[in-house]
Each structure stands twice: as C-alpha cells, then as structure tokens.
Copies of this chain bind each other. A is one copy, B any other.
Amino acid sequence: MSASRILNTTLGQADFHPHLSQQRRLYEAVRAAILTQQLAAGNKLPSTRAIASDLGIARNTVIAAFKQLAAEGYVSSALGSGTYISASLPENPLSTLAVSEPPIANQPSTSCGDAANLSARGSKSTAYAAGARFEIQPFAPGDPDFSIFPLKLWQRIQNRVWRDARPELLDYGLAGGYLPLRSAIAEYLRASRSVNVSVEQVMITSGTQQSLDLCAHMLTDAGDTAWVEDPCYWAARRVFESRDLLLHPVAVDAKGIAPNERDLATAPRLIYVTPSHQYPTGAVMTLARRRKLLDIAAAKRAWILEDDYDSEFRYTGRPLASLQGLDPYGRVVYMGTFSKILYPGIKVGYLVVPPALVRPFKTALYDLQRPGQMTVQAALADFIALGHFATHIRKIRQAYGAKRELLCKTLVAQMGDGIAISGEESGLHLVVELPSHVDDVAVARLAAESGIEVMALSTYYAAQPARRGLLVGYAYVAPGKIAYYGKLLTNVIRSAVRK
C-alpha cells in the first residue's frame, strides 16, 4: 500500500485523535505507521507536495509535521534528496508493548491516573499535556524564530571549546556554573536590566523549568501559598503545583498585578510575577505597583520570583528597570533564559539570588539537579564575550519588530476599529482582544483548523472573570507569510464574532 494510502486510511478514522489539529493528526498518523511497521525503516516517503495533494491538506501543514518527525528522529531528511524513515529503528518496536497507551488529552485526569496508578500530584501534572497540544505553527505564541540563529558561527565556537584540550569541562558543574558565563550574565543584567548583581549571585540552571522548580523547592514547603498572576504562565503553575503549593491567583490589570484586601489576607511564601511583560497579557507593571509589591513581600516575609523571560524584545519606549534592581529588602529572586534569544533546546537559564541564598542554592542546585553541559556554557560565554550575543539580539529584535508591525498593520487593515490589540510593545506575542460574549477557545480551535496556532486568553485565567482574546505569536512565522496568515486569522475572528 502506498504511504499516502496508509495515512489516508488512518486519518479517515473518526476516532483517530479527533481533537488534535490537522498537523498533529498527520504527525501521529506517520508515527503510528512507522511504529507498526506499515512504513518500513529505510524507505523513502513521498514528497510533501505529493502527500499534501493526496491527502487534500495544505503543504505547509505537511512540512511542519515532517519537521517535527525529523526533530524527534522518526524520519531523516537530507537536503534535496527527500525524506526517509529512520534506518536505525528496531526490528519490531512495538513487540513488547502489550498494553496500548491510555490517552490523556481531553480526558479527566483522574481516570488516567487510576489506570496507571499515578500519585494524586502526578495525575495533576498530566492534566494539561502541553506537549500533546502545542506545535510549531504560524502564530504559536512564545516560539522564537530559531532559524535566524547563526548555526555555523555557533558550531565554530563550540569546536574551539572542544578542541581546547579541556577534559575538565566534561565533568559536572559544581559551583553554580561556568564562571565567565556567570560573569557575562552579571554584566549584561547590570547594564541592560539594572539588576543589582555580583557574579557570585548568578546561578546557571538548565532552563526556566529548572529555575522555577529550584525556587519553589528551596523557598516553600508543601501546603504553602504562592501568589500567581491571574492570568498566568501555565508552565509555572504546573511546576508550583508539582511542589504541592496552594496557588492563590491575584488579578492583573493594565498596571500589572493588583492585590486586593482579600489577597492581602493570605500569607504567601512566594509571589511569582512577570513585571516587564506580563504573561500573557503583556501589561507592564508600573513603578508604583513595583514598590508596593516589594513592601508587601517584606512585610509578609515572602519571596518574589521575577521572571524576566522576554525582556530583550522591546520595540517602543524605554524599558523599566527590573523589579530586583528596586528591591531594598533582598526579597527578589530574578530569573531569565537563553531559550528565547538563541534556541529553545539550548536549555541554559539563570537565577540571580540574594547574597544570603547563594550557598544554599549552590548546594541544592548540585545535589538535586546536578548540572552539566559545561561545554555549552563555555561556548555561550565565548559567544557573549566575542560580541555575537549583542549582535544577535539586535538582529532578532529588528526581525521581530518588523514582523510585529506587519502583523499589527494587517490586523488593523482587516478589522479596522473592530480590533483591540494589547501587549504589543515587547515580547514575542500580542493579544487580540475579543468581546466578552465570544468563545475564544472555539475561535482558537477554528484557527487551528486553518493551520494557525493561537492560544485562547481565557485559558490562562484561574479565578477572576476571564478576558476573551487570542495570543498571537509573531516571531516564528516567515515575514512573507504574515499578511497571508493575518488575513486568515481575521477571517476566523470575524466569522466567530458575527455569530
């Protein structure tokens, strides 16, 4: 049977992942065909053009699905010579998989937890299943355009590190990370973010998740209360929940987090905020609010965790200094990441901790996470020292700025006064606000059917009446395609609003 025929049969089954997007369904269909050996190892797949035409789906959707399959090693593609099923697959990959995997997405988490005998907190951690939902498609919020990343240059720098005869770099990292990198980060944060920092306060982690987890563990106990913004970055919520924290959502308005009397009656141990560019609304916390929040933290002996995840991307106006730089009490832990600037999989993030936390955090970082990848840290230190980091930030800021402008123009041209855009001054995404009667989840689903990945604003809310809107990422989409997808998106929005 031809590959297209096999895939068509699978995709024709009504119960084959009915809630996933077309791209994801295609990915799952190819994957299933490989794992069940309907598509045999070493064989060539038809071209993306042929599959698109055979299955009647957009070629971009096929390309995106193939990219994901290649990234995970199911297929490999040499430039210009087509796509092949990986030759290194085992002879009978599913031979011992007697029980089929229980599905997760779109099921109450308890049923899944019961079947697998997971713990209560374990079940909770599977309820969202981001990996099964997100995919890199036009407008996926948060995805940087890592195709701009200077691969060849990076490879040269890495080679120098490896050639430099330093097997010491192959060991674990003991002391909070590679010093020249910590030092470069300290300098950068002092200069560009007004962070009050000495090199010793900088800890290199293996990314945002690891930074969040270390802070949640070291600064809170099970059952403690953490204030999170409402709406809030879902992945932070997941990590805090996994550390058995009680999450208390505090409403965010246009000036940032706005604790009211009821909020103040709680006793938070941790306050998680994104002051530079609130995730997901894009609100910038005002100076007055920042000062007030610092006073609250001091009064309640709470720690503030400032996530400055995308502060590098500011297109208009002057950025406000970091919250950490204003802190007279030593209650702020500052965190950042290189994933948004360089490439997601680099897995290098950092924390700036108050001096009193330096030793305990160093110890816990080593004992609980055991960092490594010192060669990557060394290459990154060189990348910064040689000026490539500053150049790259300028380059992507310019690229994203242009895309942002183009997207705004397209949306306004299409919708006129009918559209309100917010959070567009910085970051990698903006918010298209929708009237409160519109079901933004349904709109996002409709958009997904057109091959556009936008997120419904309401899904980020926990308690306060959810605002309706769409998070639209503009970083990971080719400039030439923005107008096209922008029009597609406004069509979807218009048809939804009209109903």
For window 333-383 of A, CB contacts with B under 8 Å fall at 339, 343-347, 355-360, 362-364, 366-376, 378, 381
Q: Among B98, B128, B154, B364, which residue has its beta carbon within 8 angstroms of that of A367? A: B128
Whether A217 sits at the interface, judged by CB under 8 Å, is yes
CB distance from A213 to the nearest CB of B (A): 7
* A71-B174, A99-B330, A118-B357 given; 17 more Cβ-contact pairs under 8 Å: A35-B200, A72-B175, A72-B179, A79-B165, A89-B180, A93-B183, A96-B197, A97-B200, A101-B355, A118-B219, A123-B360, A126-B360, A147-B167, A149-B170, A209-B368, A217-B242, A239-B368
Docked-complex contact A170 and B344, CB < 8 angstroms: yes
Whether A84 sits at the interface, judged by CB under 8 Å, is no
Docked-complex contact B359 and A101, CB < 8 angstroms: yes
A35 contacts across to B, CB distance below 8 A: 199-200
Docked-complex contact A356 and B116, CB < 8 angstroms: yes
Inter-chain CA distance A182–B345, complex, in Å, is 18
- Interface residues of A toward B: which range? 35 or more
Inter-chain CA distance A197–B95, complex, in Å, is 9
- Which of these binds chain B: A44-52, A155-163, A445-453? A155-163
Question: When A102-B359, A163-B155 are in contact, do A199 and B238 touch as well, CB less than 8 Å?
Answer: no
Whether A186 sits at the interface, judged by CB under 8 Å, is yes
- Sample (16) of A-B pairs whose CB atoms are under 8 Å apart: A72-B178, A88-B184, A90-B187, A94-B198, A96-B201, A118-B219, A122-B218, A128-B367, A129-B367, A131-B362, A132-B363, A149-B167, A170-B345, A206-B206, A206-B347, A209-B368
Across the A-B interface, the 6 shortest Cβ-Cβ residue pairs: A345-B372, A131-B366, A71-B168, A73-B179, A122-B218, A170-B343
Docked-complex contact A242 and B355, CB < 8 angstroms: no
Whether A257 sits at the interface, judged by CB under 8 Å, is no
- Which of these binds chain B: A10-18, A220-228, A314-322, A423-431? A220-228
A126 contacts across to B, CB distance below 8 A: 359-360, 363-364
For window 250-297 of A, CB contacts with B under 8 Å fall at 269
For window 67-107 of A, CB contacts with B under 8 Å fall at 67-68, 70-74, 77-79, 86, 88-90, 93-104
Inter-chain CA distance A175–B130, complex, in Å, is 11
Closest to A79 in B: B165
A360 contacts across to B, CB distance below 8 A: 104, 112-113, 116, 118, 122-123, 125-126
Docked-complex contact B344 and A171, CB < 8 angstroms: yes
Inter-chain CA distance A163–B156, complex, in Å, is 11
Whether A38 sits at the interface, judged by CB under 8 Å, is no
Whether A466 sits at the interface, judged by CB under 8 Å, is no
Question: When A209-B369, A221-B119 are in contact, do A172 and B355 touch as well, CB less than 8 Å?
Answer: no
CB distance from A135 to the nearest CB of B (A): 8
Closest to A222 in B: B222
Q: Among B115, B119, B269, which residue has its beta carbon within 8 angstroms of that of A218? A: B119
Docked-complex contact B103 and A359, CB < 8 angstroms: yes
A123 contacts across to B, CB distance below 8 A: 360
Q: Among B77, B118, B180, which residue has its beta carbon within 8 angstroms of that of A86? A: B180
Whether A301 sits at the interface, judged by CB under 8 Å, is yes
CB distance from A302 to the nearest CB of B (A): 10
For window 16-34 of A, CB contacts with B under 8 Å fall at none
Q: Among B154, B196, B242, which residue has its beta carbon within 8 angstroms of that of A96? A: B196
Inter-chain CA distance A330–B174, complex, in Å, is 37
Whether A389 sits at the interface, judged by CB under 8 Å, is no
A221 contacts across to B, CB distance below 8 A: 119-121
